[in-house]
């Protein structure tokens, strides 16, 4: 059976066209690949930026956790330091108290202030020593800063101190510079008043006031306070001086009781 010539020609034309298409595809393949890369370049750049950002964030996240841990440790150390301050301060005061006791010519008993008399808050203190510790009535009470007062009530394990600022307190004192004597009495405002100062004597603000040692209660030469003002009572034949106690009784924690 013979194939018609037209059909053979048709097959040849189709074959030729296919050959040209294949050849054209091979020649333009690099261009197609390059074009594809160009089209995908922005996406690739964006992806690389995202990867780089993630790589940077991961270490920072780790550092953030470490920083939080360190802050917690710092806060803990600060709290422990604050808690240790009262102990350190107490040790400092006790050391100061014992060193002061060594300089005295008489025996003393250290005691801790545990309260104030609720009926007379500002002018008396309660201490944690009593008869069982050798405390006796009408004995002077001191601090490293100066005179505190005297024992007026005693229990087995506690005692009451009448401060020099109490209106019922009386102490024989002298002005350190002039040697002028007088009587120290308490005032309701937390200060003291030295009375019976001779009109012709020298008394000025800043003068130190010391115990005179005229009684068996208060030893001689203990600092009492400092003159802040000098005046004259109307109709009186003597001057007076306002005295600021050397010891701040509101902050007093430990005392020495003379045995």
For residue 184, pLDDT over 70 is answered with: yes
For residue range 121-164, what is the model confidence (pLDDT) as tens digits?
Answer: 558 999 999 999 999 999 999 999 999 999 999 999 999 999 99
Strands 146-154 and 140-143, bridge-based pairing:
antiparallel
On the question of pLDDT at 115 being above 60, the answer is yes
Instruction: Please tell me the pTM assigned to this model.
Output: 0.67
pLDDT bin (cut points 50, 70, 90) of residue 96 is confident
Q: How far apart are CA 72 and CA 230, in angstroms?
A: 57
């Amino acid at each position: 059976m013979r194939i018609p010539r037209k059909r053979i020609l048709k097959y040849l034309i189709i074959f030729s066209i296919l050959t040209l298409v294949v050849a054209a595809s091979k020649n333009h393949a690099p261009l197609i690949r390059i074009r594809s890369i160009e089209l995908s370049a922005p996406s690739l750049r964006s992806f690389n930026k995202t990867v780089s950002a993630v790589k940077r964030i991961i270490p920072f996240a780790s550092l953030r956790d470490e920083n939080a841990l360190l802050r917690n440790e710092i806060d803990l150390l600060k709290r422990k330091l604050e808690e240790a301050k009262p102990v350190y301060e107490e040790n400092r005061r006790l050391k100061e108290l014992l060193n002061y006791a060594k300089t005295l010519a008489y025996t003393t008993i250290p005691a801790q202030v545990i309260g104030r008399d609720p009926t007379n808050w500002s002018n008396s203190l309660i201490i944690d020593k009593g008869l069982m510790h050798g405390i006796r009535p009408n004995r002077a009470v001191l601090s490293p800063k100066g005179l505190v007062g005297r024992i007026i009530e005693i229990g087995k394990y506690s005692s009451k101190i009448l401060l020099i600022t109490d209106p019922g307190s009386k102490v024989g004192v002298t002005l350190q510079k002039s040697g002028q004597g007088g009587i120290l009495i308490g005032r309701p405002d937390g200060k003291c008043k030295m009375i019976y100062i001779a009109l012709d004597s020298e008394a000025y603000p800043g003068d130190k006031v010391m115990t005179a040692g005229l009684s068996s209660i208060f030893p001689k030469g203990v600092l009492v306070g400092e003159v802040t003002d000098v005046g004259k009572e109307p109709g009186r034949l003597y001057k007076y001086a306002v005295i600021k106690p050397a010891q701040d009784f509101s902050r007093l924690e430990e005392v020495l009781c003379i045995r």
